[in-house]
Amino acid sequence: MSQRAARPKLKVPPDKLGAENHELEALKAAERRATADARLRWHHNNYKIAHETFNHRSSAVDAAIAAGVLKDAARPPGFSCPACAHVDPSGAHFVRNTKVGSSVPLVPYHHAELDLWGPFEVGDPLGFRYLFGGVDRATGKVLLQP
């Protein structure tokens, strides 16, 4: 029996078989790129979540990534947090009344600093998304209410 007789007959012409393999390889490469892009977007989103969790301190998030604590996060190129861009860089500081020789004494619970924070996505069963806070200037007592 000769080698020609031993070869199986191809149902697809040999010139088209190469084109189909090339098309299949192109589809697999596109799928790998799409998977890698989705994974990178997921890592970037995890960085944004960690940035908010670490009280908007990118340096703390970067240190956690470098230490191996956050393994599924990556800093997006040119990362900028809109909330960080709109706040006062000195931060909000609540201190007791430190004026010396005030002409009017402060009466507890008569002068308070109030603020509203949110919306936060915390999965509260009642749907609360905002945090109301107050600080009494005379005593320095703090009230936080969701």
Sequence-distant (≥ 6) Cβ neighbours of residue 116 within 8 angstroms: 130, 131, 132, 133
- For the segment 90-94, the average pLDDT, to the nearest whole number, is 56
Q: Give tens-digit pLDDT for 103-133.
A: 667 788 888 889 988 888 877 888 888 888 9
Nearest one of 100, 137, 124 to 145, comparing CA atoms: 124
Q: What is the pTM of this model?
A: 0.46
